Amino acid sequence: MTEKRKETKMQITRNESPHQCVCHKRRSLGALSFHSHVKGHLITLGEGGRRATRDESSFRHGLVFSERPVQTREKVRLRIERSSSSWHGSLRVGFANVSPEKTSVPPLAIPDLTDCELYAATTLPDSACEPGSEIEFWIDRLGCLCTRSSDGTTSRQSTTLNIHWPTWAMIDVYGQTTAVVLLGSKKKGLIRTYTSCPALTHNTHENDDGGFRHMSKEILNSMSLQEQRNHPPKNTGLETFNCEDCVVCCSNVSDTLLSCGHRCVCGPCAIRVYDKFGTCPLCRQCIRLVQFN
């Protein structure tokens, strides 16, 4: 084992928590945070990308997006942390069918983005946006944007969003609302309610899930591409679907196995897909585990 591999293994071990987060449970939702690079220029992120604070010098330029796509009926939950009496109006929430990386961030969500049918947002009433108030919002099976606040206020409006396309949560920290915190998300199933984990640094042990490693983005980025290609494969017991060429770059061999069972991307593209989209290019399931060849 080379010194670099030893160092990487030690880094993974140090970041592992003695308590597994809910993301390690079968069919649970992935981690949820704000996108670290695509945001309004007055926004500052904190608490591992879960807190978004807008500078009070303006009521605009407070747009943030979720780091990963969210599912239909996945209820995104957040709490109002701070407000300012200097401005009027309050938080806007919604969804986008366009990846944050492909979005030119304007000053406002409404109407700057919502003029396009691939974006939808709604304004929450000031009474529902007092500090300490909690909000949850989601897209239902009919593509309607639904909201519910802790004071009992609810709303439902039709949108032009395509629920079969990847959809990112969109929050405009607007007006009197100056700081919000993501509390995670939840989705009700037939038997149980699935929840997300807001933490970004969580990993499984090497012998969990048939030898897969669940790595944070910081660890993925710290590993060289050569190290990822040399990561020894293990028998996962999954029925896999193999593509000869990477479906992303169409040049490298698809030698990387995703948690959904698809071996359809190369090592470098697996990192890019995980970082930018968080879902398999073929089936759109969340990527929770990756095995490099």
Residue 227: Cβ-neighbour burial (10 angstroms; 0-12, 13-18, 19+): middle
Cis peptide before 125 (omega within 30 of 0): no
| Entry pTM | 0.63
Q: How far is CA 112 from CA 53, 60, 107, 117, 137, in A?
A: 21, 11, 7, 12, 20
Mean pLDDT of 251-279: 82
Per-residue pLDDT tens for 144-193?
Answer: 999 999 988 899 999 999 999 999 999 999 999 999 999 999 998 888 88
Per-residue pLDDT tens for 28-44?
Answer: 688 889 999 999 999 99
Q: Is residue 243's pLDDT more than 70?
A: no
Distance CA 214, CA 290 (A): 7
Identify the residue with better confidence: 195 or 25.
Answer: 195
Give the model's pLDDT for residue 279. Answer: 80
Give the model's pLDDT for residue 290. Answer: 79
Domain 34-195 has CATH 2.60.40.420: no
- Give the residue extent of every domain in the chain: 3-16+203-291, 34-195
Distance CA 158, CA 211 (A): 44
Q: Output the CATH code of domain 3-16+203-291.
A: 3.30.40.10
